[in-house]
Structure formats: structure tokens, C-alpha cells
Amino acid sequence: MSRLIDHPVAVRVKKGLPDSFSFRGQSHQILEIIDQWEESGAWWKGEPPYRIYRVQTADLGVFDLKRYKEEWRLYRIWD
């Protein structure tokens, strides 16, 4: 199961990929990028596609990070 969060986060990028992110005042190191894919935005509104990274962290588990233009969001938390 998962929970949709869609909250802005600060992401540190290394070699073009997310390396860690900060959420609720704590930094979370990414151990592995499990998967990544592109999803279409609301094309009928003229929104561009965005990228999703499913990541495994060292301390809290699995998250989906969304990169939309230059903004990063914590999109989903997996239980």
C-alpha cells in the first residue's frame, strides 16, 4: 500500500540522479533507485511530462520522488 503525499522537498542530485532528500527537517540518504519512469502531465492543460524515481532510503523505506521541471516533490510513500 502507499500514501499520496505530493509535498515539495529539497533533493540533492549527484550525476543527474537523486542522492538524498530532506523531508520534515530530516535528511534521508538514498541507497538505491529501484525504478524510474516518465509520466505524461495534464497534456490537455499543456503540462509537460514529469519523471518519477522510486527510491529506497537507508532509514525510512521506499518513496516516489517526482521531478517536474526544476521542482522536486515527495510524491508517494510506500508501506
Q: In this predicted model, what pLDDT tens digit does every residue of 31-69 receive, in sequence order?
A: 999 999 999 988 898 888 999 999 999 888 999 999 998
Please tell me the pTM assigned to this model: 0.90
According to DSSP, the β-strands at 10-14 and 26-39 are unpaired
Burial pattern 43-57, b for ≥16 Cβ within 10 A else e, equals eeeeeeebebbbbeb
Cα–Cα dist 42/65, whole Å: 18
Range of 73's domain?
2-78
The x, y and z cell numbers of residue 10, run together, are 529539497
Q: How many domains does the chain have?
A: 1
Burial degree of 35 (CB within 10 A; 0-12, 13-18, 19+): exposed
Q: pLDDT at position 69, please?
A: 85
